[in-house]
Amino acid sequence: MKNYTPLIYALFFLTATFSQVKEVAFKSGESLRFKMSYSGFLRAGTAVLKVEETELNGEKVFHSTGSGWTSGMIKWFFQVDDTYESYFDKDTIKPYLFKRKIDEGGYKKHRITSFNYNSQKAYVQDFINQKDSSVAFNNVQDMVSSFYYLRNINTKNLKKGDEIKLDMFMDSQVYPFKLRFLGKEVLKTKFGKVNSLIFTPLVQSGRVFKAEESVTIWITDDANKIPIKMRASLAVGSLRAELEAYSGLANPFGKI
């Protein structure tokens, strides 16, 4: 059940169709809670994303925490306890500090990454392997800040097949990330009917995902631009995430 993790990653990577940067897509106090299920019916766990204003090195920044954990029957044979934190600039959303601490059935990672914009290098502390490293970067987002960065991209003129690109810093490496626009849909949800925009991130096929376009995400077509549904076809079974609760949105929730 180690395939649970990629969907949590996807929640941090994906959120696309967004308003102009000067228009506020999110604010301090926003909280999003997602229900995760395996193969469509078995509850696999929960993922939560929160953002608050705080201070880092004397500067006001946003601090976002993303956490995910298994529950129900899944927890009996595979336990997940993941926490991600990002401190990023309130205006540009460029990341300053990223923390990742995960435990997935005994598979553990504990890393802290500091981004130095004078030297254009990221300093990575690996507490599990007791090894530090320095990696050159240019205009990157971490796994959590990318979620908020993408929400502020103007996609009003996107056409089917258009792609949104960024460079993502993950596991001491810089990865090119692409999000492809698939179209629009009126989605039936627990909150009512919601206008949504559909995207697929281009993922690596093989061990976890069946194909390059195995993940689909639905984003609310409103000023908040939050993910409301996600589906991933895995090498074994499938994973699904649905927005379960929200609070502290910067704008009215765009249900019909």
Domain parsing of the chain, residue ranges? 4-247
Beta-carbon contacts of 22 under 8 Å, excluding residues fewer than 6 positions away, are none
Q: How many H helices and E strands in the chain? A: 3, 15
Q: Cα–Cα distance between 255 and 58 in angstroms, integer?
A: 39
Q: For position 180, what pLDDT does the model report?
A: 92
DSSP state of 249: -
Distance of CA 151 to the CA centre of its chain: 11
Q: DSSP state, 28?
A: T
* Closest of 51, 80, 79, 52 to residue 68, by C-alpha: 80
Round the average pLDDT of the chain to a whole number and report it: 85
**Is 221 exposed, middle or buried (CB count within 10 Å of its CB: 0-12, 13-18, 19+)?**
buried
Q: At 241, is the secondary structure helix, strand, or coil?
A: strand
Reply yes or no on whether the pLDDT at 13 is more than 70.
no
What topology is assigned to 4-247 in CATH? YmcC-like fold (2.40.360)
Alpha-carbon Rg for the chain, nearest whole angstrom, is 17
Token look-up 């699904």 returns: 240
**What pLDDT shows up at residue 157?**
86
pLDDT confidence of residue 178 = 87
Task: Give CA torsion, residues 87, 92, 94, 96, to 10 deg.
Answer: -40
Q: What is the pLDDT of residue 5?
A: 52
> 């499938």: which residue's tokens?
238
CA 63 to chain centre: 14
pLDDT at 30 (0 to 100): 98
pLDDT at 2: 47
Question: For residue 154, what is the DSSP state?
Answer: B
Q: Each residue of 123-173: pLDDT tens digit?
A: 999 999 999 999 999 999 999 999 999 998 877 888 999 999 999 998 898
Residue pLDDT, tens place only, 51-106? 999 999 999 999 999 999 988 777 677 788 999 999 999 999 999 999 999 998 88
pLDDT band at 195 (very low <50, low <70, confident <90, very high): very high
Q: Using pLDDT thresholds of 50, 70 and 90, give the confidence band for residue 209.
A: very low
Amino acid (1-letter code) at residue 213: E
Cα–Cα distance between 198 and 16 in angstroms, integer?
9
- pLDDT tops 90 at residue 117: yes
pLDDT tops 50 at residue 19: no
The pLDDT of residue 210 is 42
The β-bridge partners of 240 are 37, 231
Provide the CB-side half-sphere exposure for 26 (13 A, CA): 32
Q: How far is CA 168 from CA 51, 149, 151, 153, 186, in A?
A: 20, 11, 15, 16, 30
> How deeply is 138 buried, as exposed, middle or buried, from its count of CB atoms within 10 A (0-12, 13-18, 19+)?
exposed
